[in-house]
Structure 1
Amino acid sequence: MPTARLLRPVVVLVGIAALVLTGCAPDKNQVTAPTSSASGPSADVDYGDLADFYDQQLDWKKCDAGQCATLTVPLDYDDPSGETIGLALARHEADDTPIGSLLINPGGPGASGVDFLQSFLGEATSTLKKSFDLVSFDPRGIQRSSPIECVDAKEMDRITALDPDTSTDAGLQDMIDESAKFSNACLDRSGAVFGHVDTISAAKDLDVMRAVLGDDVLHYLGFSYGTKLGATYAALFPDRAGRLVLDGALDPTLTEGAIESGQAAGFEGALRAYVADCLKGSSCPLTGSVDNGMKQIRALLDRAKTSPLDTGTDRELTQALAFSGIAVTLYSQSFWSALTQGLTAAIRQGDGSILLSFSDVYYDRAEDGTYSTNSTEAFRAVNCLDDRSSTDVDDMRAQAAEITKVAPTVGSFFSYGGTSCGDWSVPEVGSLDDYSAQGAPPILVVGTTNDPATPYKWAQSLATTLSSGVLLTYEGEGHTAYRAENSCIAKVVDAYLVDGTVPDDGTRC
């Protein structure tokens, strides 16, 4: 199966860090940002058949993540009297009198917000922690919230290591058959929830959270895929949108093909930046020009497909695993030195163990061979409900040729995306007709100029798609920008979230 759509959790970076330590519309800004949201849900709002969900009380209890509670929501919002599911929430109470709650989503899709909260507290500024009750959650289908379950660990090992044959029509059909087999297993093991983990349903869950937490409007900080979730919320509930920050933006109006092409170009650019930096050092395993270095990495990937590298275990480093191991280190410039270690071992010693360990972090695979989360299953389940690429062979081959032009080194890993959801066992939900969110207050869209996973042009696009989008640019490397150590971005974002101060559209850091 292709590795396209590498919108993986921000939390994945924590795992890599551990390994490194151990070896569009009216004119913009015409609506002011809301000044408060902590007055509780408006009494005059008629929630109709959903009233019982909006009126529920949360029972907060102490847990490893701080305080935890379970929110009940309908499995199917078109049938609120039917089956329900529970969503896991975690909270860190404000160090001072809170403005209200700030809901946080780390991305994915498939990332656990409950797991993310503690690491986020280490990245968030003291101003943010003082001003808001920080609330994160596991979206429907993820980890503790009626999780999608598909295959056992042994089968997941096989799937993640699979090197597909895209050179023949039969090979493409094999990929579609793999997808069908996978989705059938998900439906068998997960049941009805497998068809209801789409982004629109998750955005409706956000509104129930907002009301139950006692807020008139939603204050929200979403990373990566979390920006799509936040933009979807704004489109559905523009009058209930508060201060929304969308960092590492994904424009939900983009087609699957545009996403695949954009990410291919993004990772190609990030890899080129890494190679240029690597070649300046004495320990770099690459030689010659940047173009030569890129070709050497591609040669390594091709070698791993024909002759997988030994890892000192019963698992070999296949091409798919090698690419995942490389790609995950491109999410942050701070991991470039780790990538140098992995490439050095693979190129000079034929040792794939380091890159395999990075790939395992990407897939949340533990040392004992188990998978600590269901992020991979949830990732595919959400994406295949939201949108699907054409499975027409001619269409896929034409798109693959275009992707290879913009990303000759890594483009093949973002091609043939139509096979990823081929013969899927539940119908596509699709997307909204309009994401402009007319009437919403200013929404802050943050983009990083050389973000590999969510290319900068997507942030520009989303800021234009949203009728009140305001673009904030971080000139740098890596995926997403808000963190305490990035003082310029943090200062602007904090001023917006805490004080309602909307920066000038086009502000750069």
Structure 2
Amino acid sequence: MLLLSVLLATAVGQVAGLPPPQSRRGELETHIGDSDISWSTDCAYLGFDSQLPYSCANFSVPLDYTDPTSNETLELTLTRINATIQPARGSVLFNPGGPGAGGADFITGGGEEFMTYVSPPRATKILIRAYSVLGGQFNLIGFDPRATGNTLRFDCNEGLSDLEQLEAQPPPTVLGNASDVALGNNFASIKAQAAQCLNRTGGIGELVGTAFVARDMARIVDALGEDGLLRYWGFSYGTALGATFSAMFPEKVDKVVLDGNVNVQEYYSGWETQALVDLDGVVQGFFDGCIASPDSCPLARAGETADDVYNTVEAMLTRLKYNPIAVTLLNETTVVTYSSVKTFMFNMLYRPRTWPLVATLLDYLVDDNASLYVDARSQLRGNGTAGDSPDAITAIRCGDTAFRTDSLADLMPFEQQVVPTSTWGGLDFGLDNIMNCAPWMEKAKEVYSGDWDIKTKNPLLLIGNTYDPVTPLVSAQNNSAAFPGSVVLQHNGYGHTSLAQPSLCTAEAVQAYFINGTLPAPGTICQPDVPLFSNSTWQDAFASISLNGTVKAKRNVRYGSSSKGLMEALTELSRNVPGKPEYR
């Protein structure tokens, strides 16, 4: 399977429109920008809500690394949570994914959980979760990549009035399986949006590519004044960024964790056929988990199998395809459609902890109670985070990708490859990225196009879930093949990234890697500690391995005094699985 996938990724490079391979490492040099970081605790202007004290900084980097004659700079927004065990072992940079998600507020919102992965807790009760994920031994650094948050924000509606923004919004996307004209209509709308973005953003799209962000990270690492090496944990798209940095600056790699791996070679080609290969397994897990825990899954009926429940939900979706339902609540009318409900399901497959709630909402629709669905659904929507920028997703990803066309016919070979990868979602979701990017009109000024056989100073740790809806395990294996000496840890859980269905085994592996540089043995498989549809907490899991409130000796040897902090931290982190901003 791995060899086949590597061959497929190589074959993608021959698609029309792709440039020939060209080696490019970190050779571009420019001397403008900051050489150190001035941290401040006066950070109220950022508006971030954090239970931990944090500092912030504006850090100047070259605006355009490819233009040595330019003196223009760009200010990156940085945040830092200091190690509490001094002296610190260094700093760990984070990227939450997207692309398009800001990193500055990701740290201030999740820092107290992330801190714990790296050392036993030595903190007050309010900080106990903090020292179970990146412990007191490391500073945590968040930054807003280009096009996100406060850093060269990419917004196709910048400067428009509310009415103009409303008029500029494209029509709702109709999933490919909802109509035989959906793909054509969607593609026409996407092309129009691409032209509008080009006109309204003034060439910013050329300056927000992943290679430039990797160079920004190298500048940050140098300015920290530590050892000049990168310590990093990237999720989802953050794995493409981490892999790119490691390819461009292999001599600067200390500890790099890539969690929820995008196939980086497919990412740059724009011909991503691998992303959904495990989606059907995740869907099956949802319905299997439902039947296994009927008290937590209203969809489960006595005597029914998982296939029965699946067919019930599919029948409901089919009804909506031909008979959408208009619901008016509080003078606002919402139309419940096949596309809106299935997109909701797809997004929530990222987060198994939400599955009991998802089952409840779907059961409302099965029982023809769309009003309850709409009411509950409206309360579920979140505001995302301050760094999220929907337009940035397109600008970054599409500026990086090689495949371009304005003809829908040119996408049909891709459709033939991707649709069979998932019965449930191949046609509905498999063409999203290529359709958004094929007609995009801006190209990043620098795109990594070097080889993918890279020996880094220190080996990488890659984590792949057995059942991830969008970043399958095989993508972690393919990325690992590009970095000799790296190891793939298989997290035998569901959802997107290892945070989705937490595991103490996985947490300890990450902890050991950051503290000691210890990699898990090749072939290691970690089991999650919270079952699907269990409504269990980490406190429940901890109780199940205790006797009269005392940890059993064997388990105590394995987890030590930090296990409770790890469990509490992972519980909180599972609430913040990287994903689409609307549902974060």
Task: Please indicate, yes or no, whether the TM-score normalized by the shorter chain is above 0.5.
Answer: yes
Partner SS state of residue 220, structure 1: strand
Whether the aligned pair in 2 keeps the contact of 1:100 and 1:133 (CA below 8 Å) is: yes
Residue of structure 2 equivalent to 1:320: 339
In terms of mean alpha carbon deviation, does 316-325 or 300-309 score higher? 300-309
> For residue 458 of structure 1, what is the amino acid of its counterpart?
S
Equivalent of residue 50 in structure 1, options 19, 30, 39: 30
Shift of 1:480: 1.5
Q: Is the 8 A contact 2:81 2:140 kept in 1?
A: yes
Report the 3-state secondary structure (helix = DSSP H, G, I; strand = E; otherwise coil) of the residue aligned with 1:316: strand
RMSD: 3.2
Q: Partner of 2:245 in structure 1?
A: 233
Looking at structure 2, the residues matched to 169 and 328 of structure 1 have their Cα atoms a distance apart, in angstroms, of 23
2 CA distance for matches of 1:229 and 1:339? 32
- Residue of 308, 324, 344 corresponding to 1:308: 324
Asked if 2 retains the 8 angstrom alpha-carbon contact of 1:322 and 1:355, the reply is no
Does 2:105 correspond to 1:115? yes
Q: From 49, 54, 65, give the equivalent of 1:77.
A: 65
Give secondary structure in 2 for the equivalent of 1:397: helix
- The residue number in structure 2 matching 1:334 is 353
Supply the distance in 1 between the matched residues of 2:98 and 2:60 (Cα, whole angstroms): 22
* Displacement after TM superposition at 1:340 (Å): 0.6
**Could you tell me how far 1:487 is from its partner in structure 2?**
1.7
CA–CA distance in structure 2, aligned partners of residues 258 and 298 of structure 1: 31
Q: Distance in 2 between matches of 1:405 and 1:484?
A: 27
Deviation at 1:433, TM superposition (A): 2.5
Superposed, 1:250-289 pairs within 5 Å as 250-254=262-266, 260-280=272-292, 281=294, 283-285=297-299, 288-289=304-305
Measured after TM superposition, the shift of residue 476 of structure 1 is: 1.3
Change in Cα spacing, 1:374 to 1:150, as seen in structure 2 (3 Å) is farther
**Which of 370, 374, 388 lines up with 1:353 in the alignment?**
374
Structure 1 counterpart of 2:186: 175
Q: Quick check: 1:466 aligned with 2:483? A: yes
The answer to whether the Cα contact below 8 Å between 2:250 and 2:455 also exists between their aligned partners in 1 is: yes
Residue 29 of structure 1 aligns with which residue?
none
Aligned partners of 1:309 and 1:346 also within 8 Å:
no
Determine which of 219, 231, 239 is the counterpart of 1:208.
219
Work out whether 1:102 is the aligned partner of 2:57: no
What whole-Å deviation, never above 9, does each CA across 1:7-63 have from its counterpart, x for those lacking one? xxxxxxxxxxxxxxxxx9xxxxxxxxxxxxxxxxxxxxx998523335244343332
Partner deviation per Cα, 1:128-154 (whole Å, 9 max, x = no partner): 231111001111000111111113776
Provide the rounded CA distance (Å) in 1 between the counterparts of 2:277 and 2:423. Answer: 9
CA distance in structure 2 between the partners assigned to 1:229 and 1:106 by the alignment? 11
Distance across 2 between alignment mates of 1:484 and 1:284: 21
Larger CA Rg, structure 1 vs 2: 2
Would the aligned equivalents of 2:256 and 2:460 in 1 still touch at CA under 8 Å?
yes
CA contact (8 A) 1:451 1:480 kept: yes
Tell me if structure 2 keeps the 8 A contact 1:482–1:489. no
Check if 1:86 corresponds to 2:67. no
Deviates further, 132-141 or 338-347: 338-347
Gaps of 5+ in 1: 1-23, 25-45, 366-370
Q: Aligned partners of 1:158 and 1:360: how far apart in 2?
A: 19
Residue type of the alignment partner of 2:277: A
1:214 shift after superposition? 1.4
Question: 8 Å contact 1:286–1:296 — kept in the other structure?
Answer: no
Q: Find out whether 1:220 has 2:228 as its counterpart.
A: no
Contact kept? 1:227, 1:249, Cα under 8 Å:
yes
The match for 1:147 among 150, 153, 157 is 153
Query: Structure 1 residue 68: deviation in Å?
Result: 1.1
Corresponding residue for 1:290? 306
Q: Which residue of 1 aligns with 2:42?
A: 62
Kindly provide the amino acid, as one letter, of the partner of residue 343 in structure 2: S
Distance apart, 1:258 and its partner CA: 8.8
Provide closer, same or farther for how the CA distance between residues 394 and 48 of structure 1 changes in structure 2, counting only shifts above 3 A. Answer: closer
Give me the whole-angstrom Cα distance separating, in 1, the residues matched to 2:320 and 2:71.
50
What is the alpha-carbon distance in structure 1 between the residues aligned to residue 375 and residue 178 of structure 2?
A: 29
2-side partners of 1:150 and 1:252: how far apart?
A: 27
User: Is the CA contact 1:264–1:407 (under 8 Å) kept in the aligned structure 2?
Assistant: yes
Measured against aligned partners, the alpha-carbon deviations of 1:135-180 in whole angstroms (never above 9, x if no partner) come to: 0111100011111111377649954732166899976454333223
Q: Percent of counterpart pairs with the same letter?
A: 27
Which residue in the other structure is 2:513 paired with? 496
Q: Which one of 409, 415, 419 corresponds to residue 400 of structure 1? A: 415
Greater mean deviation of Cα atoms: 432-441 or 130-139: 432-441
Report the counterpart of residue 428 of structure 2 in structure 1: 413
Which amino acid in the other structure matches residue 333 of structure 2?
A: D
Give the gaps of 5 or more residues in structure 2. 1-5, 7-25, 117-130, 527-584
> Shift in Å at residue 289 of structure 1?
4.1
> Residues 149 and 446 of structure 1: is their aligned pair in 2 closer, same or farther, counting only changes over 3 Å?
same
Alignment length, in residue pairs? 458
User: 1:98–1:131: 8 Å Cα contact kept in structure 2?
Assistant: yes
SS in 2 for 1:253: helix
SS in 2 for 1:61: coil
Supply the AA of the counterpart residue of 2:81: H
SS of equivalent to 2:140? strand
Question: Residue in 1 aligned with 2:363?
Answer: 344
The match for 1:381 is 395
Q: C-alpha distance in 1, partners of 2:455/2:188?
A: 42
Hey, what's the Cα distance between the residues in 1 that align with 2:361 and 2:457? Answer: 46
Letter in 2 for 1:143: G
Q: 1:389 to 1:50 in 2, by over 3 A?
A: closer
- Distance 1:396-1:304 versus aligned 2 partners, 3 A rule: farther
Match of 1:89, SS state, is strand
Distance in 2 between residues matched to 1:130 and 1:451, nearest whole Å: 31
Q: Partner of 2:195 in structure 1?
A: 184
After TM superposition, the structure 1 stretch with the greater mean CA deviation from structure 2, 243-252 or 496-505, is 496-505
CA 1:131–1:59: 2 relative to 1, 3 Å:
closer
CA distance in 1, matches of 2:416, 2:309: 22
SS at match of 2:299: coil
